[in-house]
Amino acid sequence: MKIPVVIYANESLLQKMISDRTIEQAVNVSTLPGVLKQVVVLPDGHQGYGFPVGGVAGMDIDEGVISPGSVGYDINCGVRLIRTNLTEKEIRPKLVDLVDHLFNSIPSGLNPKEGCVKLNTTQLDEVLVQGVKWLETNGYASKDDLDVCEENGHIVNADPDKVSELARSRGAPQVGSLGSGNHFLEIQRVQEIHDEQAAKVMGIFPGQITILIHCGSRGLGHQVCTDYLKICEASHQKYGIELPDRQLACAPNTSEEGIAYKQAMNAAMNFAWSNRQMITHYTRKSFESILNQSESDLEMNLVYDVAHNIAKVEKHKIDGKEKSIVVHRKGATRAFPAGSIDIPKKYQKIGQPIFIPGSMGSASWILLGHKNSLNLSFGSTAHGAGRLMSRTQSHKQYNYKQILEEIQEKGIVLKSMTRYGVVEEAPEVYKDVDTIANISHDLKMATKVAKLVPIGVIKG
């Protein structure tokens, strides 16, 4: 180990991390070339591919490495929240119709035939370079949407030529599709407010209807990771890199392979933001259609869009000195405080909004970035509840009918492509999201603003 591993958890969460390879994987990361200060395991941490999900590591920009597995397969998987001026009483009579309309408008599942928009080669290149700016130009986004999206929905130094033809062919028909696994669209109700000032700035009020969207870069991002894992693994001898785990395949930040991966990763990040924005566009259209009101009348404004599964150059204090480093966040989300130049002007005085989604049937949280996160976790906090059991284990322990009855008893309308997906995403297979939010709040990594509970759920 070149640096320590720091774990933020309670005793119960720690025991779960010990029972799988979470801590072993974090220790492996601490041996990589150029790793700085500490490797962080957040309270939602669990075993991942090489690098623990819920993990953060900073790498020296000159001496360090970039690692595709430490970013993850679903590059820029992320979460965005849309507010409305509606209450549950206003939409409950039309909730079934609304969920049906959303389900039919937004393709979901592992391999939908196409997304809401099928891009030709030129259009795909433009999306990979411009991100949400392309959607604004083409009428699928507003300037307000860009203003409250991490990186304004567009990261520079993206090169479509570094994205393989297979990745491009997988992504071209998928812009505007939800995907499968733990991805979802939820209609939610604001149950609790914990920070009235921050909630007011975000336009959040008690009893309000909001929409939470969780998805990423789909087949394109998955293929980018697959391609560059192979490229990086083949380059180890060339650069004299010794790895404790081949899943941590990496390349020097400044190498040809490392630069190419970052350019392809950035393209996948732009794709993911565009995917969530296209889903947002059709979500708004569904609400307009079912409620017979315009998007502006419903005040369906984007609160924020936050990314996880990324690596970005940021400035952080290392040994008391500010230094540009490459921060890998895998299953971790940025938690920048008030005054940060990297968050929207709208939130400069309060800090960056953060969303911690639960599983269907459980709550989600809005949090607020805090200055303590900069020292504790490279300006990061948890991205979700984190799995307690594998998908295989969930099928052994639960069945579709059992979960559906539990969901319906809570008054939640559920639509899913498959029964299989419902079972593997049962609320009980995840850690308690309230516990995750409380640990973040108590440590002042990111503090609690509001608690949201689902009333309508769409799963892939």
Sequence-ordered list of residues with C-beta below 8 angstroms from that of 161, at least 6 positions apart, any chain? none
Provide the β-strand partners of residue 353.
368
C-alpha 249/C-alpha 31 separation (Å) is: 13
Residue 146 has pLDDT above 90, yes or no: yes
pLDDT bin (cut points 50, 70, 90) of residue 188 is very high
User: Tokens in use for 408?
Assistant: 């319906």
Question: Which pair of structure tokens corresponds to residue 57?
Answer: 């590591």
Q: Would strands 446-459 and 364-369 be described as parallel, antiparallel, or unpaired?
A: antiparallel
Enter the pTM of the model.
Answer: 0.96
Structural domains of the chain, with CATH:
5-459 (3.90.1860.10)
pLDDT of residue 459: 86
Least confident segment among 52-56, 103-107, 349-353: 103-107
If we measure between CA atoms, which residue out of 33, 34, 80, 29 comes closest to residue 329?
A: 29
- Average pLDDT of the residues in 362-376: 97
Distance of alpha carbon 382 from alpha carbon 42, whole angstroms = 6
Q: Are residues 272 and 217 in contact, defined by beta-carbon separation less than 8 angstroms?
A: yes
- Tell me what pLDDT residue 380 has: 98
Active-site annotation, residues: 383
pLDDT reported for residue 399: 82
Amino acid (1-letter code) at residue 321: K
Q: Let me know the angle formed at the C-alpha of 397 by 391 and 403, rounded to the nearest 5 degrees.
A: 85
| Mean pLDDT along residues 142-169 | 97
Predicted local distance difference test score (pLDDT) of residue 110 = 60
Close Cβ partners of 154 (under 8 Å, ≥ 6 residues apart): 130, 131, 132, 133, 146, 270, 273
Predicted confidence (pLDDT) per residue in 310-353, tens digit? 999 999 999 999 999 999 999 999 999 999 999 999 999 999 99
pLDDT band with cut points at 50, 70 and 90 for residue 158: very high
Share of the chain above pLDDT 70, in %: 98
What's the CA dihedral at 242, 246, 251, 252 to 10 degrees? Answer: -40
Looking at residues 226-242, what average pLDDT do you find? 95
What token pair was written down for 269? 């990040």
Write down the pLDDT at residue 88.
Answer: 96
Binding-site residues for GMP, please?
Answer: 182-186, 308-309, 357-360, 364, 383-386, 459
Residue 114: the pLDDT is: 56
141 confidence band (pLDDT: 50, 70, 90): very high
Q: Which is nearest to 275 in space by CA: 119, 388, 399? A: 119
Q: How far is it, in rounded angstroms, from Cα 403 to Cα 219?
A: 28
The alpha carbons of the chain give a radius of gyration, in whole angstroms, of 21
User: pLDDT value at position 111?
Assistant: 61
CA distance 402 to 277: 34
Name the band, by pLDDT with cuts 50, 70 and 90, for residue 402: confident
The amino acid that residue 180 corresponds to is S
Instruction: List pLDDT tens digits, range 235-274.
Output: 998 999 999 999 999 999 999 999 999 999 999 999 999 9
Q: What is the mean pLDDT of residues 374-395?
A: 86
- Asked if the model's pLDDT at residue 113 lies above 60, the reply is no
440 vs 55: CA distance, rounded Å:
14
